[in-house]
Amino acid sequence: MTKTAFITGVTGQDGAYLARLLLQKGYEVHGGVRRISQPDMARLDALGITDQVHFHDFDLSDSNNIFRTIRDVPMDEFYNLAAQSFVGASWDLPVYTAEIDGMAVVRILDALRSLRPECRFYQASTSEMFGEVRAVPQLESTPFYPRSPYGVSKVFAHYMTVNYRESFGMHASSGILFNHESPLRGKEFVTRKISMGLAALAHGANAPVELGNMAAKRDWGFAGDYVEGMWRMLQRENAGDFVLATGTSTTIRDFFTYVGEALDMEVIWEGEGPQEAAYDRLSGRRLMQVNPKFYRPAEVDLLLGDPSKACNELGWKAKTDVRSLAMMMAKADYDAQARQLR
Ligand code: NDP
Ligand code: GDR
Tell me what percent of the residues of the chain surpass a pLDDT of 90. Answer: 98
Integer distance in angstroms from the first to the last C-alpha of the chain?
48
Please tell me the distance between residue 242's alpha carbon and the centre of ligand 1 in angstroms: 19
What share of residues in the chain are helix, strand, coil (percent, to 5)? 45, 20, 40
- For residue 257 and ligand 2, the question of a CB distance below 6 A is answered with no
Q: What is the pLDDT of residues 215-253, one digit of tens each?
A: 999 999 999 999 999 999 999 999 999 999 999 999 999
- Return the pLDDT at 163: 98
Residue 28 sits in a domain whose CATH number is 3.40.50.720
- Return the pLDDT at 334: 98
In terms of domains, do 21 and 156 share one? yes
Tell me the backbone φ, ψ of residue 304, rounded to 5 degrees: -145, 115
In terms of domains, do 76 and 133 share one? yes
Burial 139-163 (b: 16+ CB within 10 A, else e): bbebebebbbbbbbbbbbbbebbbe
- Output the residue whose Cα is nearest ligand 1's atom 4: 12
Q: What is the pLDDT of residues 177-222, one digit of tens each?
A: 999 999 999 999 999 999 999 999 999 999 999 999 999 999 999 9
- Return the pLDDT at 170: 98
Contacts of 63 (CB under 8 A, 6+ apart): 104, 107
CB within 6 Å of ligand 1 — which residues? Answer: 8-9, 11-15, 32, 34, 36, 40, 58-61, 81-85, 100, 124, 126, 177, 179-180, 186
In terms of domains, do 270 and 172 share one? no
Contacts of 179 (CB under 8 A, 6+ apart): 127, 191, 218, 219, 220, 221, 303
In this structure, which amino acid lies at residue 82?
A
In terms of domains, do 232 and 287 share one? no
Q: By residue range, what is the domain housing residue 80? A: 4-181+221-248+307-314
For residue 181, the surrounding DSSP H or E stretch is strand 180-181
Q: Once rounded to an integer, what is the mean pLDDT over residues 28-54?
A: 95
**Do the Cβ atoms of 60 and 100 come closer than 8 Å?**
yes
**Do the Cβ atoms of 279 and 286 come closer than 8 Å?**
yes
In terms of domains, do 172 and 80 share one? yes
CA angle 65, 70, 71 (to 5 degrees): 95
Q: What is the pLDDT of residues 262-319, one digit of tens each?
A: 999 999 999 999 999 999 999 999 999 999 999 999 999 999 999 999 999 999 999 9
Query: What is the domain count for the chain?
Result: 2
Q: Select from 67, 61, 63, 50 the least CA-distant residue to 83.
A: 61
pLDDT greater than 90 at residue 39: no
> Could you give the ipTM of this predicted complex?
0.99
State which ligand 2 atom lies nearest to the alpha carbon of 296.
26
Indicate which residues carry an active-site annotation: 126, 128, 150
In terms of domains, do 112 and 238 share one? yes
- Return the pLDDT at 302: 98
Pocket test for ligand 2, best of 190, 259, 287 (most atoms within 8 A of CB): 190
pLDDT greater than 90 at residue 34: yes
Q: Once rounded to an integer, what is the mean pLDDT over residues 5-16?
A: 98
Please tell me the distance between residue 35's alpha carbon and the centre of ligand 1 in angstroms: 15
Q: Once rounded to an integer, what is the mean pLDDT over residues 7-25?
A: 98
For residue 277, the surrounding DSSP H or E stretch is strand 277-280
In terms of domains, do 265 and 137 share one? no
Q: Select from 229, 252, 242 the least CA-distant residue to 138.
A: 242
In terms of domains, do 163 and 203 share one? no
Question: With bands split at pLDDT 50, 70 and 90, how would you rate the model's confidence at 156?
Answer: very high
Long-range contacts of 33-41 (CB under 8 A, 24+ apart): 33/57, 33/58, 34/58, 34/59, 35/59, 39/11, 40/11, 41/11
- Return the pLDDT at 128: 98
Ligand nearest to the CA of 127: 2
* Dmax (CA) of the chain: 64
Q: What is the pLDDT of residues 313-342, one digit of tens each?
A: 999 999 999 999 999 999 999 999 999 998
pLDDT greater than 90 at residue 4: yes
- Return the pLDDT at 126: 98
pLDDT greater than 90 at residue 1: no
- Return the pLDDT at 37: 87
Please tell me the distance between residue 190's alpha carbon and the centre of ligand 2 in angstroms: 6
Question: With bands split at pLDDT 50, 70 and 90, how would you rate the model's confidence at 38?
Answer: confident
CA 313 to chain centre: 22
In terms of domains, do 94 and 139 share one? yes
Residue 287 sits in a domain whose CATH number is 3.90.25.10
In terms of domains, do 155 and 264 share one? no
Q: What is the mean pLDDT of the chain?
A: 97
- Return the pLDDT at 202: 97
In terms of domains, do 230 and 264 share one? no
Q: Once rounded to an integer, what is the mean pLDDT over residues 54-65?
A: 98
Please, where are the H alpha helices in the chain?
13-24, 42-46, 63-72, 94-97, 104-115, 149-168, 190-202, 223-235, 252-262, 308-309, 322-341
In terms of domains, do 90 and 135 share one? yes
